[in-house]
Amino acid sequence: MTVTLSNPKTLPPPTGYSQIAEVTKGKIVLIAGQVAHDVAGNLVGANDFGAQVEQVFKNLDAAVRAAGGSFKDIVKINNYCVASVDAAEIATYREVRDRYFDMAAPPTSTFVYVSRLVQPDWLFEIDAMAVIDS
């Protein structure tokens, strides 16, 4: 796999993500939106943003492993958080994220507040793209 993560000086300095991921070789894996359900399909952390974020990252881990990769192979994440979550909770998200990713070379990232997710009890969702050595 050949992926180069970079932050050109011609762009604003990022906080916890890379500006660019250049992929020149490898198997591209797209991971659907992961939510806070356990393997039995039960919601984890009703009304608990931190618990939901933790479960979402566990599900993301399971997904990338099922494709033959690991968190080091994830090059892009899209985060969706319901607007009713207090903005101070972004620190909770970062704490969880930072445990899963190598923050010396984090993936590219987008974080969006939305009015709601498909299920009203969901507070957070993430989808991802990984590039796995083929």
Number of domains in the chain: 1
Nearest CA to 37 out of 67, 62, 69 is that of 62
pLDDT in tens, 12-31: 999 899 999 999 999 999 99
Q: What are the φ and ψ backbone dihedral angles of 7, each rounded to 5 degrees?
A: -135, 85
What's the domain range around 30?
A: 2-132
Query: For the whole model, what pTM was predicted?
Result: 0.92
Beta bridge partners of 126: 34, 79
pLDDT in tens, 96-106: 999 999 999 99
Quick check: 1 pLDDT over 60? no
CATH number for the domain harbouring residue 60: 3.30.1330.40
pLDDT of residue 108: 97
Q: Residues 102-105: contacts with CB within 8 Å, 24+ apart?
A: 102/71, 102/72, 103/16, 105/5, 105/18
pLDDT in tens, 37-92: 999 999 999 999 999 999 999 999 999 999 999 999 999 999 999 999 999 999 99
DSSP conformation class of 43: B
